[in-house]
Structure 1
Amino acid sequence: MFYKKVLSWLALFLSFTSLFLSSWIIIPAPNMLLLTLAVGAPEISPWLFGLNLLCLLLSFFCIRRHQLQRLACTLSLIGLLICASVLVNIPLTQMQMAKAMKQELGADYLEQIPVQVSAKMQSYPFSLVNTFRGIPSGKTRHQTGIIFATSAGVPLKIEVYQPPTVGKYPALIVIYGGAWQYGNPRANSEFNQYIASRGYTVFAIDYRHAPKYRFPAQLDDVRTALNFIHKHAVEYEADPERMVLLGRSAGAHLAMLAAYQPDALPVRAVVNYYGPVDLVEGYKTPPRPDPINSRAVLKALIGGSLQELPNQYQIASPINYVTHSLPPTLLVYARHDHLVQARFGRQMYERLRDSGNTAVFLEIPWAEHAFDAIFNGVSNQLALYYTERFLAWALFSQ
């Protein structure tokens, strides 16, 4: 009898817990502590779906008291429905992404990619198996702690990921995010290793952080890194004529600025994962809720408020550098992003297109900021699939 009571209360507790975790798929996080749940919950929705289903079965078969059973089953059913809202949207989102790629790059863009390159890419935009086992990656070579510059006494380093065999490969320069205040080149190492195993030399670069170092220190460091990579490309088996910039969040902001400068080193393309593009409007209309205090973050970067330094906010906004001859740009944004709102990514896409540039805008309906921190998550599988194809198109078909 005691055993049955314990099992009943355990089933009820698990139902509450699974619903609590699942609820962050639809509830916006009010602070940084809960933001982790809001980022992760959609990405592990297949796991949570299974957990809710298990709780439903436990509640139905193990709870004898009718009221408790009904409560636990209701909680589990709500959790199942929330998780299903992600899973049933995957095929539609996949089709919309495929349509956007063909619309902007050409209906035959995949045919322009060499067979030996396309053969290495993921075969499917989403794999439930990969959600549970992880995305398979190949062997790579990894060099760490390479100092490319010392700025204001701060040593700046590069992590280099290379394919397993010696050769000459196109280069992907990766810039990490972190509100311009924290982070390091070791971030997103799974992605860097995966891309290197597919035949790219990946450079993950560093930059100085705010608030101690204010803008444009970060941009200066990125440009210094690009010059270093260009100069030492042969040493690291990279092709200086085939380089792409990829950044996440603050890193995407810096990638766009570096690529769009009038005197920028030429790159084949830019990949922007949920990056700020208009700091003026971002300051004026922060997200709600605003878990990182966006205005405080921008003031730390620029050195003051929009009212105090309006020109600096303009200078630091990539959207103000759009001209008619920029590298092709892939923009990947999350519709539920409460750090960098997806509407800014769409505005950047429209500005680029109106100026005669090639741009692709991909939006993930259920995702939150930094969704790709879960490398084998639902959203990153989709983003990675189309990022791979964009990179191959930009570097091998032109």
Structure 2
Amino acid sequence: MILAVLLAVVAAVAVFLVARPVGYGNPGTSLAMFFLAYPLHLLGVTLLALVLGLLAWRHRSRVPMALCAVALVLSLIAALWPSTDMWRYARQANVPLSLGTYAANAFRANLGEPQPDRTRTYGTASDGTELKLDVWQAENAPDNHPAVVMVHGGAWVKGTRGMAPDWNRWLNERGYDVFDVGYRLAPPMRGKQEVGDVKCALGWVASHAAEYGIDPQRISMMGQSAGGNLALLAAYSTGDYRLPASCDVPDVPVASVVNMYGPTELARGYRTTGSGESVREAMRKYLGGSPDERPDLYRLLSPLYYVDEEAPPTLTLLGRRDRLVPVDQAKLLGAALDDAGVRHETWLLPGTDHGFDSNWGGLATQFARDRIADFLPPARG
């Protein structure tokens, strides 16, 4: 009876959070993140409910049997609803997905930290902070191979280089060197300093191209969440005097940029985020106030306003169930890139939350890998 009640409660909560994901900072935040990133893991609840229900049936325990039936049905709904939506979306886009890949990575999370043996200092900020990045070199890459400058997320106030290491390994396997950038975080209020640090790292990479055998004309950028925002901003504002690098480096045109669930218009994002005060507090720390208090700075640090015909090709991936970054952030950027005649792709993934790539074998992550592999400048051949 106790197990049946617990299974029914878990399944009911799962369905509720999949249907109506609560915003960050509210009770159930972590559960919603898990259920949306790892939906097929809920089939374990289904299987347990089936076994326990058969046991209850054998012993003619009607109430536990009924509760197990409820848990079975609800857990199936929670597991298959977002998964089938994603599968259907991928099939329409001719992107292959694999249940075997999901299962093989069932207990693997794309999480990490800085690796001291890879760490280099790419600059010193005016406040004396040494700025670090980690170098992930591809094995057996030909001369003049491309590189990716990776910018981590964390709402501009947390996070670290190396926090999503499976992307670096995957890119290395495909012949790209990866430069995983750390940058100064708020508080105190950073404003232009964070993108200035990213530009400093970009310039350092270009200046060391010969040392690493990379082609300085084929340096792309990629970032998740706040890192996506900073990658877009650095790529779109090349040479803009209002957003200088935080160290003495040359301007570097970017070959392409991959934006994974990053905001593009900050004032609008502040007002429409699904996570309310959790996001707004981070943005006030980063920008020193609300959009009403700092309207010019919110606009200055919004990539949307830098789009023109010179913008690099752009790939955006954003979940339709993202609780931090509303879908209209991607749509606004896509419309601006259309108007400017810039090559771009925008993919709005059904049943998918913020940070979906924490599940390296997840269906949304498989989709993202396929699109990124097709989009980036070819590394070999």
Task: Verify same fold: TM over 0.5.
Answer: yes
Residue aligning to 1:93: 89
**1:132 maps to 2:117:** no
Unaligned runs of 5+ in 2: 109-114, 240-250
Please state whether the residue corresponding to 2:376 is helix, strand or coil. helix
- Which amino acid is the alignment partner of residue 17 of structure 2? W
Query: Is 2:6 the counterpart of 1:10?
Result: no
Gaps of 5+ in 1: 1-7, 99-123
Could you tell me which residue of structure 2 aligns to residue 384 of structure 1? 369
Measured at CA, do residues 342 and 232 of structure 1 come closer, stay the same or move farther in structure 2, by a change above 3 Å?
Answer: same
> What are the residue-to-residue correspondences of 1:308-323 with 2, within 5 Å?
308-323=293-308
- In the other structure, the counterpart of 2:164 is 188
CA distance in 2, matches of 1:195, 1:22: 35
Determine the structure 2 residue equivalent to 1:150. Answer: 124
| Partner in structure 1 of residue 220 of structure 2 | 244
Residue type at the aligned position of 1:61: L
Give the superposition deviation at 1:196. 0.5
Q: CA deviation at 1:310?
A: 1.1
Supply the distance in 1 between the matched residues of 2:148 and 2:238 (Cα, whole angstroms). Answer: 21
1:49 alignment partner, SS class: helix
Q: CA deviation at 1:53?
A: 3.2
Percent identity between matched residues is 30
Q: How many residues align?
A: 359
Which position in structure 2 is the counterpart of 1:120?
A: none
> 1:324: Cα distance to partner?
1.5
- The two structures, once aligned, show a CA RMSD in angstroms of 2.4
Alignment partner for residue 278 of structure 1, among 260, 265, 284? 265
**Residues 320-358 of structure 1: per-residue CA shift (max 9 Å, x gap):** 111122111001011011111111101110111111111
Aligned partner letter, 1:133: A
Equivalent residue, structure 2, for 1:288: 274
Identify the residue that residue 162 of structure 1 maps to in structure 2: 137
The corresponding residue for 2:31 is 37
TM-score, scaled to structure 2: 0.87
Contact 2:14–2:78 (Cα < 8 Å) also in 1: no
- CA deviation map 1:120-157 (0-9, x unaligned): xxxx6321111121299xxxx99522111121222211
Query: With structure 1 as the length reference, what TM-score do the two structures score?
Result: 0.84
1:202-227 per-position Cα deviation (integer Å, ceiling 9, x unaligned): 11011100121411000110010011
1:162–1:197 contact (8 Å) kept in structure 2: no
CA contact (8 A) 2:120 2:133 kept: yes
- Aligned counterparts of 1:250 and 1:273: Cα–Cα separation in 2: 9
Match of 1:197 in 2: 173
Q: Please give the alpha-carbon distance, in whole angstroms, between the structure 2 residues aligned to 1:94 and 1:82.
A: 19
Match of 2:310 among 312, 325, 333: 325
Matched, 1:83 2:79: yes
Secondary structure class of the residue paired with 1:130: helix
**Structure 1 residue 10 displacement after superposition:** 2.7
Judge conservation of contact 1:299–1:305 (CA < 8 Å) in 2.
yes
Task: Tell me the CA shift for residue 258 of structure 1.
Answer: 0.6
Q: Deviations over 1:24-83 (max 9, x none)?
A: 322312434633322221232222124313313321333532123112211220111121
Which residue of the partner structure matches residue 24 of structure 1? 17
Amino acid at match of 1:55: A
Matches within 5 A, 1:97-136: 97-98=93-94, 125-134=96-105
Structure 1 residues 262, 202: CA separation in 2 closer, same or farther (over 3 Å shift)?
A: closer
Give the corresponding residue for 1:105. none
How far is the alpha carbon of 1:289 from its aligned partner? 4.4
Give 1:118's aligned residue: none
| Distance across 1 between alignment mates of 2:376 and 2:365 | 16
Q: Which residue in 1 is equivalent to 2:329?
A: 344
Asked if structure 2 preserves the Cα contact closer than 8 Å seen for 1:250 and 1:276, the reply is: yes
- Asked if structure 1 preserves the Cα contact closer than 8 Å seen for 2:287 and 2:297, the reply is yes
Equivalents in 1 of 2:6, 2:293: separation in Å?
52
Partner amino acid, structure 1, of 2:119: G
Deviations 1:151-194 (A, max 9, x none): 12222111111222254321011100000011111110011111
CA deviations 1:67-122 (Å, max 9, x no partner) are: 23112211220111121112322332113444xxxxxxxxxxxxxxxxxxxxxxxx
Aligned-partner residue type, residue 304 of structure 2: I
- Corresponding position of 1:229: 205
Structure 1 residue identity aligned to 2:293:
E
State the SS of the aligned residue for 1:82.
Answer: helix
Corresponding residue number in structure 1 for 2:68: 72
